[in-house]
Amino acid sequence: MNKGSSARRFPAEHFLNRELSLLAFNRRVLGQAADERVPLLERLRFLCIVSSNLDEFFEIRVAGLKEQVKLAVVAPGTDGLTPHEAFRLVAAQAHDLVEEQYDLLNEVMLPALEKQGIRFLKRSAWTEAQAAWIRDYFFREVMPVLTPIGLDPAHPFPRVLNKSLNFAIELEGKDAFGRSSGAAIVQAPRVLPRVIRLPEAIAGAPHGFVFLSSVLHAHVGELFSGMNVLGCYQFRVTRNSDLWVDEEEIKNLRLALQGELPQRHFGDAVRLEVADSCSEVMADFLLQQFALGYDDLYRVPGIVNLVRLMQVPDLVDRPDLKYPPFQPGLPKVLAKNYDVFASIRKQDVLLHHPYQSFSPVVEFLEQAVDDPAVVAIKMTVYRTGTDSVLMDLLMRAARQGKEVTAVVELMARFDEEANINWAARLEEVGAHVVYGVFGYKTHAKMLMVVRREDGDKGSVLRRYVHLGTGNYHPRTAKLYTDFGLLSCNEALCADVNEVFKQLTGLGKASKLNHLLLAPFTLHQAMLAAIRAEADNARAGKRVRILAKMNALLDPEIIEALYDASQAGVTIDLIVRGACALRPGIEGLSDNISVRSVVGRFLEHTRVFYFYADGEMKMYLSSADWMERNFFRRIETCFPVLDAKLKRRILKEGLMPYLADNSQAWEMDEDGRYRRKRSRKKGFSAQEALLAELSLAPPSA
């Protein structure tokens, strides 16, 4: 198994830094929040998504950089930056991004919301009626659950949960015991809402809100009777949240993770956010407590956790300020009351989410559960949510005596706890539950049903499969773009069966008919496909590469793309997030374009197209072109064999994104993105697909 060559054939300046590229992606998300064409409450969501993304960015990516700096790692990455150099650049750009985010919130978003009757009441402007209502709320709902902690030798600095809301209090005077430490900490329990809605009559607006931080600021003196409060400053610490388990010591992965998960809340601190009013003395004190430097300090003019504003659009009944609703469509082959197995026997069925419904996948499993002819169901579980109709169906199938196998990935980041719970519940009802292969995340999206049917020579077992680019998660299927394929192609089903056998049992990797599998064949197959296009270009043949993915970071793939470009291959890459390739460099990547589309839906499809001397090879995949996906995960990449479906994927999954001049951003040779805008009529790929595929397209 080739794990990639450590020797690079191209100099470091031809590769971009992963962390800086991720920050560039978040700037594009912030661009959606600034875009006046986007409905106002949706702009607020995008603003919050930036904060949510940055939280994970610090918890994982910045935490990793800081860990390397701590271990004195000096070896540069593919981009030529040492961990220390990368951290300095990341910190500078992250500070700039956060400053732009709060400027947009305070100078643009809040005034625009207020014009629409959505007000966030500032403490300095409360009326007597508002102040009285808030005071009553504090004593009734807030104060009973607060535990102020005075800092002295008997009360050391408390353990602060990752991303929790806290307040540092500067005090003057002595308490009943004669103590005068001068400082205290108040932790806001997570049961308290961070955004509180006021009655319309009190708020003076149809939708009036006050922040919990404002409520506590106004009444913090009630917690320290007889003492003077000199300052009250909200703060929030972000911690390293990457889980680590020792492969050599581990005996039971589930038990090990159950013991490790609680510690995630108390990993090493990587970022400190404080209100911009925080005194220098208190900021220095907090930095010292968390062993952080000034690069790690983020002073913000507003609440320290904008993710909390994500709930506001759901609390405000203003459809005119949100994206218009739509009803996902269905492929023609799936009639209203269809037999899913009969439909699949007629032809392979392609689903394009969220424009087309995820319900056929649920129906596929539901009919399998209720069908007495179905004898076995096998499924991979990566992200499925805390409430999942699919998991409920698997448990129902197990209770009915069907052979149910679930390959549950316990190391799915931030879904570990949910997946541990599902694994336990599935085991309780008699399902076979395995955790894949230790050291390799099972990221493949596969569902297989085995059904007993009548054949020419009597009873036979026929397999049906669903393969996808996205998770078995009905909620995110409404928000993420993904492709799914339902098929009973014997060779493809045999491949899926073989992969399940490898995941649940032991044995050498077998040669598969169609399926490309990481960590075994996917990387080399992609390299071979790229190199074949380059060879065809040198031979004067027609060539083309189109690829759409979430991230492009693998150095060998990038080098192969550079070689193909130099050979004359036209390469169009649609990369939503991080991209380490630099397009448009004369003599290196003249023939490569890179664009990113950021819109209403999160672009999640992985589609790889190669002209292949007229064969027009089309692949759908669970994997991005990243080293981790090629070598440290179990991924599937499956060819689309039906010519009609190939054309459909080209028409729906690739070409509209190349034509988009409304929500697309194009990368230049320096890694900078510029929004693609046309003086003519704008074209949005997502809006066009909604109009074409959904049953109730938006009026736009």
pLDDT digits (tens, 9 = 90+) for 648-675: 999 999 999 999 999 999 999 999 999 9
Residue identified by tokens 């909604």 is 690
- Mean pLDDT over 309-335 rounds to 92
Domain with residue 544: its CATH number is 3.30.870.10
Q: How confident is the model at residue 697 (pLDDT cuts 50, 70, 90)?
A: very low
Q: Which residues pair with 665 in a beta bridge?
A: 596, 675
- Residue listed under structure tokens 């039906």: 642
Q: Does residue 6 belong to any structural domain of this protein?
A: no
**Range from 221-230, 410-419, 568-577 carrying the lowest mean pLDDT:** 410-419
Same domain, 523 and 430: no
Q: Is 275 within 8 Å of 216 (Cβ atoms)?
A: no
7 falls within a domain: no
Total number of domains in the chain: 3
Partners of residue 441 on adjacent β-strands: 633
Cα–Cα distance measured from residue 116 to residue 318, given in angstroms and rounded to the nearest whole number:
9
* Residue tagged 């759908």 (tokens): 620
pLDDT of residue 241: 81
Does 331 reside within a domain? no
Is 310 found in the same domain as 422? no
Does 327 reside within a domain?
no
Compute the distance between CA of residue 300 and CA of residue 102 in angstroms, rounded to an integer.
7
Q: What is the DSSP string of 394-429?
A: HHHHHHTT-EEEEEE-TTSTT-HHHHHHHHHHHHHT
Lowest-pLDDT choice from 436-440, 484-488, 549-553: 436-440
Domain final residue, candidates 508, 525, 547:
508
Confidence band of 562 (pLDDT split at 50, 70, 90)? very high
Does one domain contain both 448 and 535?
no
Identity of residue 366 = E
Inter-CA distances, 458 with 343, 346, 452, 490, Å:
22, 20, 10, 18
Q: What is the pLDDT of residue 249?
A: 45
Q: Average per-residue pLDDT in the chain?
A: 90
**What does the alpha-carbon distance between residue 395 and residue 430 come to, in Å, rounded to a whole number?**
8
Same domain membership, residue 71 and residue 190:
yes
444 and 590 share a domain?
no
CB within 8 Å of 559: residues ≥ 6 apart = 8, 9, 10
What domain range includes position 222? 36-321
Give the integer Cα–Cα distance in Å for 432 and 398: 9
416 with 549, same domain: the answer is no
User: Residue 280's pLDDT is what?
Assistant: 95
The verdict on residue 150 lying in a domain is yes
Please report whether residue 155 resides in a domain: yes
Structure tokens that stand for 594 in this block: 């890179």
Cα distance between residue 694 and residue 475, in whole Å: 17
Whether residue 162 sits in one domain with residue 51: yes
Take residue 80 and report the two structure tokens written for it: 């030529």
Cα of 237 vs its chain's centroid, Å: 21
Model pLDDT for residues 5-21, shown as the tens digit of each residue: 455 678 899 999 999 99
Do strands 633-639 and 516-518 pair parallel, antiparallel, or not at all (unpaired)? antiparallel
- DSSP letters for 572-586: EEEESS-B-B----T
The closest alpha carbon to 516, from 531, 526, 504, belongs to: 526
Asked if residues 501 and 432 have their Cβ atoms less than 8 Å apart, the reply is no
* One domain for residues 482 and 545: no
Helix (H, G, I), strand (E, B) or coil at 149: strand
Q: Is 254 inside any structural domain?
A: yes
Which one of 457, 483, 508 terminates a domain?
Answer: 508
Catalytic residues: 443
Find the mean pLDDT for residues 65-92.
94
Residue 210 · residue 134 · CB < 8 Å: yes
Stretch 540-552: mean pLDDT: 98
What pLDDT, on a 0 to 100 scale, did the predictor assign at position 250? 46
Report pLDDT digits (tens) over 360-419: 999 999 999 999 999 999 999 988 877 889 999 999 999 999 999 999 887 656 566 777
Report pLDDT digits (tens) over 258-292.
555 455 556 899 999 999 999 999 999 999 999 99
Q: What sign has the CA pseudo-torsion 61, 66, 70, 74?
A: positive
Residue 246 clears pLDDT 70, i.e. is over it? no
Within 8 A by CB and 6+ apart from 41, the residues are 312, 313, 316, 318, 321, 322
Which of 404-427 are b and which e, b meaning 16 or more Cβ less than 10 Å from the residue's Cβ? bbbbbbbbbeebbebbbebbebbe
Both 230 and 344 in one domain: the answer is: no
Gap between the Cα atoms of 470 and 481, Å rounded: 8
Whether residue 155 has pLDDT greater than 70: no
Find the DSSP H helices in 106-176: 110-115, 128-137
Give yes or no: residues 521 and 496 share one domain: no
Domain assignment of residue 644, yes or no: yes
Q: Which two tokens stand for residue 518?
A: 């990481």
The residues pairing with 229 across neighbouring beta strands, listed in sequence order, are 171
Same domain, 458 and 361: yes
Tell whether the torsion through CA atoms of 102, 34, 43 and 93 is positive or negative: negative
Which of 488, 508, 528 corresponds to the end of one domain? Answer: 508
Following DSSP, what letter does each residue of 632-674 receive, concatenated?
Answer: SEEEEEEE---HHHHHHHIIIIIHHHHH--SSEEEE-TTS-EE
306 and 411 share one domain: no
Burial of 112 (0-12, 13-18, 19+ CB in 10 A): middle
* pLDDT for residue 190 is more than 60: yes
Taking alpha carbons only, the member of 105, 60, 460, 395 closest to residue 243 is: 60
- The pLDDT tens digits for 355-369 are 999 999 999 999 999
Instruction: Give pLDDT tens digits for 598-623.
Output: 999 999 999 999 999 999 999 999 99
| DSSP labels, 479-491 | TEEEEEEEE--HH
